[in-house]
Amino acid sequence: MWKEWPLVAFTIAGQMAVGFFLVAGFPLFLLDGSHAVGTTREEGLAVLAVVLGLLVAAALLSFFHIHHPLRARSSLVNIRTSWLSREIFFELVFIALVAVEIVLVWGVSAASGLSRGVHVAAALAGILFLLSMIRLYMLETLPLWNQAYTPLSFALTALSLGAIAAGFIWGGIFILLSLAFVAAEIVISFLLAPGHGVYRSRPTPSLRPPADVPRYLHPARLASSLAGLSLLGAALIWGRGRAVEGLNGKEWLVAAFALVLAGQLTGRFLFYGLLARPGR
């Protein structure tokens, strides 16, 4: 199970990048509407830089998962049928469009029609990247993963981490959003756990070996996310609506982010650990 750490890191970083990009695009619609990302040019650049950094880190981490990284360029050749090819393709498109948006926001005008067009295209690529990541695990031959838990947990990972990150900058509604997303993630983890096999139930008949996952992982994941949820509540109260203005709120937010992230990492290890690989 622990051997799957590159996949855990890749999926969490990639999903957080998508979530942050999508959630941070809210000001375009909710606030003054003058910038594609953020409410000022500096905020926009900061968000885009973090998203790009996360995506590049995810891409680099994914190399630790494959055993012939020098052949990785050929992983795009089966886009017609392979969701893994599609995932890689859409990640590369997403990276390219975010990089182009950074250039546009930096050098031209964040409010230009071109940068907005690029932003919408990048958001679409990000969504397709996330969808490919979800579909990749939802094969008919993988009943343990081919169920509601997979899309819900992947999407909520993206949205909750993205909303907390946005909460650092804008506070208020974003902390409220992150509260809702983290709460939803806890509820679905709790409710869908039996079907997802965390109690050692696995789809039968099966030629797959039984998983050997530590029993403490599921409660540890829930406890960490619940603690994070409590701190988000504290951040909302102490930050008085705009966390960036209240140091106390921001500190709560950092701790909440760390706990929610720890919960997500634990949950993801559990996700991969439940489907044991045969042989060595």
Partner 1 sequence: MVTQYGFFFDAAACSGCKACQMACKDRNDLEPGVLWRRVYEVAGGGWEKKGEVWVPSVVAYNVSMACNHCEKPVCGLSCPTKAIWKREDGIVFVDTDACIGCRYCEWACPYTALRFDARTNTVSKCDFCFEAIDAGGAPACVASCPRRALDFGDLAELRKKYGDVRQIFPLPDPSQTEPALVIKPHRDAARAAERAAEVANWEEV
Does residue 39 touch partner 1 according to CB under 8 A?
no
Please give the single-letter amino acid code of residue 7.
L
Q: Would you count residue 204 as binding partner 1 (CB under 8 A)?
A: yes
- Whole-number minimum distance, CB 98 to partner 1, in Å? 23
**Among residues 2, 29, 81, 113, the one that binds partner 1 under rule CB under 8 A:** 81
Interface with partner 1 includes 2 (CB under 8 A)?
no
| Residues 135-154 contacting partner 1, CB under 8 A | 136, 139-142
Listed ranges 34-42, 67-75, 98-106, 173-181: which one lies at the site for partner 1 (CB under 8 A): 67-75
Please say which residue, 56 or 142, places its beta carbon nearer to partner 1: 142
Instruction: Closer to partner 1 by CB, 88 or 243: give it.
Output: 88
User: Which residue, 33 or 209, is less far from partner 1 as judged by CB?
Assistant: 209
Tokens 């409010």, residue?
111
Nearer to partner 1, 78 or 112 (CB): 78
Closest CA to 257 of 227, 220, 219, 237: 227
Number of residues that bind partner 1 (CB under 8 A): 35
Q: How far is the CB of 94 from partner 1 (least distance, A)?
A: 17
Q: Does 103 bind partner 1 (CB under 8 A)?
A: no
Binding region for partner 1 (CB under 8 A) = 65-69, 71-72, 74-78, 81-85, 88, 136, 139-142, 204-210, 275, 277-280
